[in-house]
Structure 1
Amino acid sequence: MTSEITIRPIKAAETYPLRHEVLWPQESIEYVKLNQDEQGHHYGAFRNGKLVSVISLFMDGGVARFRKFATRPDCQGQGIGSQLLRQVLDDARQKGAQRIWCDARAVNENFYRAFGLEPEGNRFYRGTIPYIRMAKDL
């Protein structure tokens, strides 16, 4: 099914429902809020006017970090998250970042490798979920 995907900046609060539903449904909604959210750049991918994927970008000098990347389960595997991540990589570069990184769930490592991100360091856990830091030069 082809449908129009629109990507645009959104407010931090608009990311919370998807962050919660996709990433940490067993936790309270407060768990998905970040202290740095107000300093971040938040993006949403909309399909037919509905928010289906979110990501947040944080700049620290020449280094960018993206966090809380979440796509509605029924919209995964359709290229929507890929479009969103490409946009964020471009925006980070335009904002002056020379490097970008994330703490990726280990299960998603191959997805991030497709964008040129490579694992750095050892796996670590948040609760029972294994993560790996992934990064690339822009």
Structure 2
Amino acid sequence: MPDFDIRLITPADTYALRHQVLWPDKPLDYVRIDDDAAGCHFGAFRGEELLSVISLFITGPEARFRKFATHPDYQGQGLGTALLQHVLSEARRQGARRIWCDARQDSAGFYARFGLQPEGEIFYKGPIPYQRMMMEWS
């Protein structure tokens, strides 16, 4: 039994961890997504401490996850794996037949372990290379 649990959270609950992990050199508003209110946001908690976040957006048969961040002190402990598995299951449960993300290129191998495959060319957000990763279900 893991010593953490996954809970539905508000968009605002994700902002501090998104900022700290993904874009610490940008203003806090940089990590907000215009359609945050339309998404489902999940957090991995150890007790009441929020350690990892991910946001899921579903439009018809297509799902996208964004702003996946795990506190650096807790990476490599299974939190992100459990959170991503949860989101993949949730997307399928809600009827999505395809899921994708824009992954930092240095994380593409992590997503490939779950069956997501590269799609398209590498692109950049500022100096950071990204790769779109996608998976379809039958």
Distance 2:76 2:6 in 1: 17
Match of 2:32 in 1: 33
Match of 1:108 in 2: 107
Match of 1:67 in 2: 66
TM-score by length of 2: 0.97
TM-score by length of 1: 0.97
Match of 1:78 in 2: 77
Secondary structure, in 3 states, of the residue corresponding to 1:97? coil
1:47-58 alignment to 2 at 5 Å?
47-58=46-57
Match of 2:11 in 1: 12
Mapped contact 1:3–1:47 kept (Cα < 8 A): no
| Residues 16-70 of structure 1, C-alpha deviations (whole Å, 9 max, x = no match) | 0000000000000000000010000000000132000000000111000000000
Match of 1:127 in 2: 126
Post-superposition offset of 1:82: 0.3
Post-superposition offset of 1:3: 6.0
Secondary structure, in 3 states, of the residue corresponding to 2:56? strand
Distance 1:104 1:47 in 2: 25
Detail structure 1 runs of 4+ shifted over 2 Å in the superposition: none
AA matched with 1:93: R
Mapped contact 1:64–1:100 kept (Cα < 8 A): yes
Distance 2:3 2:126 in 1: 37
Mapped contact 1:44–1:54 kept (Cα < 8 A): yes
Distance 1:21 1:65 in 2: 22
- Structure 2: give runs of 5+ residues left out of the alignment: none
Distance 1:99 1:113 in 2: 15
Secondary structure, in 3 states, of the residue corresponding to 1:120? strand
- Structure 1: give runs of 5+ residues left out of the alignment: none
